């Protein structure tokens, strides 16, 4: 119970809800168009992939880390992943509504705002209830990453990843590229297109449609791979929060 209160307190600090449960104007106005609106960047090469670099302020990042730490999931040294299904901890539910708000109110550079793909999340996903019901927190030590994969089909479209602590480069490759390589083994094959995305602490990416189903994502933190701007990233511990929605059984 004490832990719950502590979590509640942290949450209120992070995402701004005061004692009577009302959202603070101040926090909401942070997402307003006039004052430092959150900026969305559409990754041109990958349909459905959007990056919101400064999604969480430094203060919000440390409070979120504290809320994760308070869950006590990573007290054993070797544990590096925690999963939750269904009812998510309150901080994760708050994070989800913050993502919703960011999609609704964030700044989008687009020439045609009438098109659904001009937005970081299509409305049928953005308005589903709940937006997410599955959570993974991954903790990576320097050198650790995640192999190239497409997230399991048991999850719906519309996946969010919030990055904390050390920056990293996530690489995206088209799903067909493997098959394409086998078929064309003897031909001079064009090199596999690998799109690097820098995930800094506090950033959020949203993967929908092609980005979710037709591209694999991976984080290779072996020496020499984590390059950005001609320099190797100094690797520290990295934590990520992935939010997804389970498919409904037929
Ligand atoms: O840690 C990350 O940023 C990615 C995690 C991920 O892709 C997954 O858990 O499926
Ligand atoms: Fe993934």
Q: Is residue 250 part of a domain?
A: no
The ligand minimizing its distance to the Cα of 169 is 1
Alpha-carbon distance of 160 to 185, in angstroms, equals 35
* Gap from CA of 21 to ligand 1 centroid (Å): 32
- pLDDT (tens, 9 = 90+) of the chain, 250 residues, equals 566 666 666 666 666 554 444 444 334 334 444 457 899 999 999 999 999 999 999 999 999 999 999 999 999 878 999 999 999 999 999 999 999 999 999 999 866 677 777 899 999 999 999 999 999 999 999 999 999 999 999 999 999 999 999 999 999 999 986 544 445 555 566 678 999 999 999 999 999 999 999 999 999 999 999 999 999 999 999 999 999 999 988 7
Instruction: Pick the closest to residue 162 from 45, 9, 60 (CA basis).
Output: 60
Asked if 180 and 189 count as a contact pair (C-beta separation under 8 A), the reply is: yes
The span from the CA of 44 to the CA of 193, in Å, is 14
In a domain, 152, yes or no: yes
Contact 244, 134 (CB under 8 A): yes
Residue with CA nearest ligand 1 atom 2: 240
| d(CA 143, ligand 2 centre) in Å | 18
Predicted TM-score (pTM) of this structure: 0.86
pLDDT of residue 26: 34
Distance CA 112, CA 232 (A): 37
Per DSSP, the three-state class of 174 is: strand
| Residue 249 within a domain | no
Is the beta carbon of 201 within 6 A of some atom in ligand 1? no
ipTM of the complex: 0.99
pLDDT per residue as tens digits for the range 168-217:
999 999 998 654 444 555 556 667 899 999 999 999 999 999 999 999 99
161 lines ligand 1 (CB under 6 A): yes
Distance CA 149, CA 151 (A): 6
> How far, in Å, CA of 206 to CA of 39, rounded?
13
For residue 49, report the distance from its CA to the centre of ligand 2, in Å.
13
In a domain, 98, yes or no: yes
Here the CATH number for the domain that contains residue 25 is: 2.60.120.590
The structural domain count of the chain equals 1
Domain that holds residue 29: 2-244
Report the C-alpha gap between 29 and 13 in whole angstroms: 15
């Amino acid at each position: 119970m004490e832990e719950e209160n502590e979590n509640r307190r942290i949450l209120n600090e992070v995402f701004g809800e005061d004692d009577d449960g009302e959202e603070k104007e101040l926090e909401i106005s942070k997402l307003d168009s006039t004052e430092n609106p959150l900026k969305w960047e559409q990754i041109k090469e990958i349909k459905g992939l959007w990056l919101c670099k400064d999604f969480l302020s430094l203060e919000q990042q440390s409070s979120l880390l504290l809320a994760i730490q308070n869950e006590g999931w990573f007290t054993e040294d070797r544990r590096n992943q925690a999963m939750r299904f269904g009812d998510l901890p309150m901080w994760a539910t708050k994070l989800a509504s913050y993502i919703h708000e960011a999609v609704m109110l964030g700044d989008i550079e687009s020439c045609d705002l009438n098109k659904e793909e001009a937005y970081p999340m299509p409305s049928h996903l953005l308005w589903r209830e709940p937006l997410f019901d599955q959570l993974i927190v991954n903790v990576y030590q320097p050198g650790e990453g995640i192999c190239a994969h497409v997230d399991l089909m048991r999850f719906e479209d519309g996946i969010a990843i919030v990055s904390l602590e050390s920056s990293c480069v996530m690489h995206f490759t088209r799903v067909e590229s493997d098959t394409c390589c086998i078929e064309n083994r003897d031909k001079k094959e064009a090199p596999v297109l690998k799109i690097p995305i820098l995930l800094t602490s506090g950033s959020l990416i949203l993967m929908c449609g092609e980005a979710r189903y037709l591209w694999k994502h991976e984080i290779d933190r072996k020496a020499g791979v984590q390059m950005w701007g001609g320099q190797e990233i100094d690797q520290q511990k990295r934590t990520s929060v992935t939010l997804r929605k389970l498919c409904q059984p037929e």
